[in-house]
Each structure stands twice: as C-alpha cells, then as structure tokens.
Structure 1
Amino acid sequence: MWEWNRLRALDALSRTGSVREAATLLGMSGPAVSQQLRRLEAEAGVKVVEPCGRGIRLTSEGEVLARYAGRVAALMQEADNAVHARDPLAGVVRIGAVASAVRTVLTTELADLRAAHPGVDVFVEDGEAVDHVRRLAEGHLDLVIAESWSPTPVRLPAGLTYRRLAREEAYIALPAGHPGHTRAEVDLRDLEGASWATCPAGSDPHVALTQIAHSRGVDVDVRFHVADHVTQIELVRAGLAVACVPASARRYASDDVTFLPLAEPLWRELVLATNRRGSSRAVLHLADRLARLGGD
C-alpha cells in the first residue's frame, strides 16, 4: 500500500504545480519530494509524473491518484483535529487580506485570539484577491479575506468555499471645493476628464470602476495607483484626485472630502475564503469567529 508521505507529496504537487513549490509547502527539499514521487510510482506501478518543459506535470493516472490523495489529506486533518480536540488551540494561521479588511475586520479579532490562545501564531499579508486566492488553493495560505465588487464578483477555483462578511455601497470621494460636491449623487459622466486615485491596474476595484465607467461611456484617467483606500482619500483631500471607495472608508476622512453615492450603484463585498481540503482547529476557530461578524 502507498505510504502517507508519498501521497502527501503528490497532493502538494497537484496543488502547486511544481516540485519547488510543493517542497516549500511541505517544508522539505526538492530532491526529497522527487524521491517520494519516484517511490510512489514504484509502489503504484504506474507513472504519476512526466516531463513538461523544464518542469513536470501529472500524468492522467497521476491526476486520478492526486484526487484521492487530496481526500486522504482532508481526512488526515480531520483525524488530527479530533484526536487533539481537548488540547489548547495551537499552530500557525496564515491569512491573506486586503488592507481595508486588516484594518476593519481583523485587528480586533486577532488581538482577542492572541489573548485567549497564545499558542496560535498568526501571519498576515496584504495584497490582491487574485494572488491570495491562488495561494489559498495551493496551500500557502489558510484563510483569505477578499474583495468582491458587483460588476466583477470574485471567482474561486475548485476546492475553495467562501462566506460573506460584509456588503457595502461604494461612494465617490470629491474634494470639498469640487463643482459637484453639493449634488445628491454622482454620474460618472460628470467626472469626465477628472484625475483618479484607484487601486493597482488589474485589481478588482480598478476593474469594477473602469467597467462601470465604460458602461456610461466614460474613460477613467487614473493618475494614482494606490492599494489603500485611506491613502486614496488623502489624495482627494489634497485636491489631486477623485476616488471610488467603500462606505467603511468614510470614517477616515476629514471635512475637506465629500462622499456622494453613484447614480448607478456599485457594491463591494468582503468574503472569507477557505479550503475544502481541511483546516486545523486554529484556522476553523478563527474562520468561525470572522463568519459570525458577518452574521453567517
């Protein structure tokens, strides 16, 4: 029969797509992973990997076996959780989140987690949803809090699931002296020619804004690519740009900035993504705490 370490190596390769990434995920060396795969092939009596360019890929038999390896990995995690159900929470939780979620959702929860469960080590990285979701699927992250904007909802790879934490309307931030600051709402056509501050090109907020602008026949002239909404508001306050920000960001503004709803509403959701392959007790505990914040 196949040993667990062999299946574990195959599962990691299936998730990451390379021996190097699989080795990083497992905390092993690349040669050690390759050795486990060769031994698995000898035990299974079939080829599970084959050359592909400078790397390798799964054979059709390898893909079949990898699906079972993933199920075994999930069961092994469930077994570990059950055996240690009475132990204090411990281990590592790796979180990917957009900056606004770190500021508004995570800060208090992580402080409470540290106080109640000092054996849990938490690592947080800021970034874009598309990168975080990929790293979650590969196993490099345990939880992801991602933005999902109404014109372009976030897409999750197979094997991931999500719960909604919050839903909020987006507003246009204008300098207080802007000609349109006294209106009840903003039509993007009224901002033709304005300089914009928005998230990096290709990010979900940037794509959502440009899509809704194009639907109104407007091109968005982005002069400032800044991932953090609070920094975007500061650029607006200085009179350098206008910006589209979620409602929660308004709390960080001064009297020098006016927030108006869009004539064609735009919405942002914060979603909590997890991996169906199985999570540690510490990850499940934090995920449940965060989900309760969203009323899930």
Structure 2
Amino acid sequence: MFDLHRLRLLRELKHRGTLAAVAAALSYAPSSISQQLSQLEAEVGVPLLEPVGRRVRLTEQAEILVAHTEAVLERLERAEADIAASLTELTGTLRIAAFQTAALTLVPTALGQLRDQHPHLRVHLTHMEPERALPALQARDFDLVLAEEYPGNPHPRSTDLDQEDLLDDPLHLALPGPDTGGPLTDLRSLADHPWVMEPEGTPARHWAVALCRDAGFEPDIRYETTDLLLHLRLVEQKHAAAFLPGLVWAGQTPTVTLLNLPRGRRSRRITTAVRHGRSQHPAILACRNALQRVATAKPMP
C-alpha cells in the first residue's frame, strides 16, 4: 500500500509547481520533500518525476497517482464533514479568501452572524483575488473562496470544485458628477478619455477592454490597480472614467455619475467555491447561508 503522506506531497507538487513551493507551503526542507518523493518512486516502482530545465514535472504514472490521491482526500474530507455534523457544537477553523469588494461589503456582516450563531468557530479571512484564490483552494490553502465572473468571460469552473451563485452585482460606467442612472447611449464618445482599469491579465481588464473595443475604440488606460476604491477616487477627482460594480457603494449613495451598460454586459456574478469533499461540512453550510442572507439584503445602485 502506498504511503498517503508521500502521495500528498506528490499532489502538492502538481498544484504548486516546484519543490521549493511545496517546501515553503508545508514548512519542510526541499531536500526532505525530494527524499520523500524518491521513496514514493521506489514504492511505486516507476519514475514519477522527470527533469525539465531546472524544474521537474510529473510523469504519466504520477498523474494517475495524483488523480487517485484527490479521490482519497475528497473522501477523507467527507468523513471530516460527517463527524462535524454529528456534533452538537460547531468548532474548528474555517479559512476564507475573498476579493476586495466582497471582503469589504459581504464578509464582515456574515462574520458577525457566524460569531453570534457559532461562537466557537474560528474564521480566518484572507484578501485575495480569485485568479490566485481558486488554485489555492484546490491546493487546500482555503476552505471557501468568493469569486467573480464577468459577462462573457467566466472563469472555467473546475470539476474539482463546487461553485454556488451568490448574487449578480450590477456594473456601471462611472463618470464624475451626481448619480443620474441614465442609459449609456454612446460609449465611443469616451474614446479619448483617460481610463482606470484593473491590471493586464485579470478577467475584469479583459472584459472592460473588450467592451470598449466592441464600441469601436482602444481605451486610453492611464491608471492600473486592483483597488476599486482607488478607481472610485480617480473618477471622483475627474482623472478617469471607470467601470465599477455596485458592491463598491455597499448600499450608500453613489458619489459619481453611473450610466447603464449595453444589455448582456450589465452585471458580474459573485460565487462561492469549495472543494466537493467539503461542501457538506457544517462550517461551509453555515458560512454559505450567512453570505446568502447578506447578499439578499444588500441594496444595489
């Protein structure tokens, strides 16, 4: 029978990419990781790693082992969930990752509900964008991730994860001035206007640039940041136009002019993601229920 600890190290290598990253995540020396994987190769009787430059990659046989290891770990998580469900009091630690606007507007109220209902549940919150948080969820760094999907550019939903829709967050074109709520009739008129957008490679940037290109122009992007509160401040100070979601205001009166976007481009979808084996854990169910209550009660501009 193969050693489960060594199988988990092989799985960690698949998800984290390098021996150094595995060692850092697990607080081991890289030499110790390498030695454990060499012993696993001896147990299996076939090569599991092959060199690629200065790195290593998994062989076909190693990929087979990792697939079976994922199934074993999912089953163990289901066992953990069943044990937690058999107890009368919810304890332990729940690790959440959330992007900025969700962390500012949805999570704090949900944390308050969890604290009141389950005072012995310890919750850790990390601010992290979905592009990094979802892979970290699969690597078991988190238990629940709040993610976002932009119109026409959704994250490919991993078959290893259970994702539930939380709410649709309206998107607007934001310009300096009071809120008018009027329809957007000509985005092309902003072709020469400065813009603030999220950095290159993010789903939000891809969506925003595509929207401008569909209107017939390449946006003049002068400011780049993942901080949507800075986006808002740059619009308020008349430095740039921006596309901003409703969660930026968290029910407060908008401080800038908001114009509607073309039909089919007017909202991003907010989801919660967990691993399949953990989806029925009482802490996950309690957190998802709390977030759903908050989302249902949250007014949007």
Map Cα deviations across residues 70-122 of structure 1 (whole Å, 9 max, x no partner). 11111122223333431643333332221111122211111222344344433
Query: Percent of pairs identical after alignment?
Result: 29
Distance 1:228 1:276, change over 3 A: same
The equivalent of 2:87 in structure 1 is: 86
Distance 1:226 1:59, change over 3 A: closer
Secondary structure of the residue aligned to 2:270 is strand
- Quick check: 1:151–1:211 contact (8 Å CA) kept in 2? no
- Give, in whole Å, the separation in 1 of the partners of 2:121 and 2:70: 25
The equivalent of 1:262 in structure 2 is: 261
The equivalent of 1:96 in structure 2 is: 97
- Give, in whole Å, the separation in 1 of the partners of 2:181 and 2:113: 42
The equivalent of 1:236 in structure 2 is: 235
Q: Given residue 74 of structure 1, which amino acid in structure 2 is its aligned partner?
A: E
The equivalent of 1:247 in structure 2 is: 246
- Quick check: 1:196–1:224 contact (8 Å CA) kept in 2? yes
Please state if 1:286 is matched with 2:254.
no
The equivalent of 2:191 in structure 1 is: 192
- Give, in whole Å, the separation in 2 of the partners of 1:27 and 1:115: 34
Q: Structure 1 length normalisation: TM-score?
A: 0.85
Please state if 1:207 is matched with 2:206.
yes
Secondary structure of the residue aligned to 1:71 is helix
Q: Given residue 249 of structure 1, which amino acid in structure 2 is its aligned partner?
A: V
- Quick check: 1:96–1:125 contact (8 Å CA) kept in 2? yes
Q: Given residue 164 of structure 1, which amino acid in structure 2 is its aligned partner?
A: D
Report the CA distance between 1:132 and its aligned residue.
Answer: 1.8
Superposition pairs of residues 85-164 of structure 1, within 5 angstroms: 85-86=86-87, 88-164=89-165
- Quick check: 2:181–2:260 contact (8 Å CA) kept in 1? no
Map Cα deviations across residues 236-292 of structure 1 (whole Å, 9 max, x no partner). 2222222111133344455x5221112454321111122235466534542454356
The equivalent of 1:29 in structure 2 is: 29
Q: Given residue 269 of structure 2, which amino acid in structure 1 is its aligned partner?
A: E
- Give, in whole Å, the separation in 1 of the partners of 2:183 and 2:17: 51
Secondary structure of the residue aligned to 1:230 is helix
Report the CA distance between 1:191 and its aligned residue.
Answer: 1.4
Distance 1:281 1:269, change over 3 A: same
Distance 1:66 1:56, change over 3 A: same
Report the CA distance between 1:27 and its aligned residue.
Answer: 4.5
- Give, in whole Å, the separation in 1 of the partners of 2:288 and 2:182: 41
- Quick check: 2:47–2:59 contact (8 Å CA) kept in 1? yes
Distance 1:177 1:111, change over 3 A: closer
Q: Structure 2 length normalisation: TM-score?
A: 0.84
Q: Given residue 261 of structure 1, which amino acid in structure 2 is its aligned partner?
A: N
Secondary structure of the residue aligned to 1:89 is coil
Please state if 1:11 is matched with 2:11.
yes
Distance 1:62 1:207, change over 3 A: same
**Which stretches in structure 2 are left out of the alignment for 5+ residues?**
297-301
Q: Given residue 32 of structure 1, which amino acid in structure 2 is its aligned partner?
A: S
- Quick check: 1:159–1:277 contact (8 Å CA) kept in 2? no
**Which stretches in structure 1 are left out of the alignment for 5+ residues?**
none
- Quick check: 1:164–1:291 contact (8 Å CA) kept in 2? no
Q: Given residue 33 of structure 1, which amino acid in structure 2 is its aligned partner?
A: I
The equivalent of 2:221 in structure 1 is: 222
- Give, in whole Å, the separation in 1 of the partners of 2:277 and 2:56: 23
- Quick check: 2:278–2:284 contact (8 Å CA) kept in 1? no
Tell me the matched-pair count.
292
- Quick check: 2:109–2:294 contact (8 Å CA) kept in 1? no
- Give, in whole Å, the separation in 2 of the partners of 1:8 and 1:148: 31
Distance 1:283 1:35, change over 3 A: farther
Report the CA distance between 1:158 and its aligned residue.
Answer: 4.3
Map Cα deviations across residues 151-202 of structure 1 (whole Å, 9 max, x no partner). 2112234422311111133111121289xx6954342112121112222232
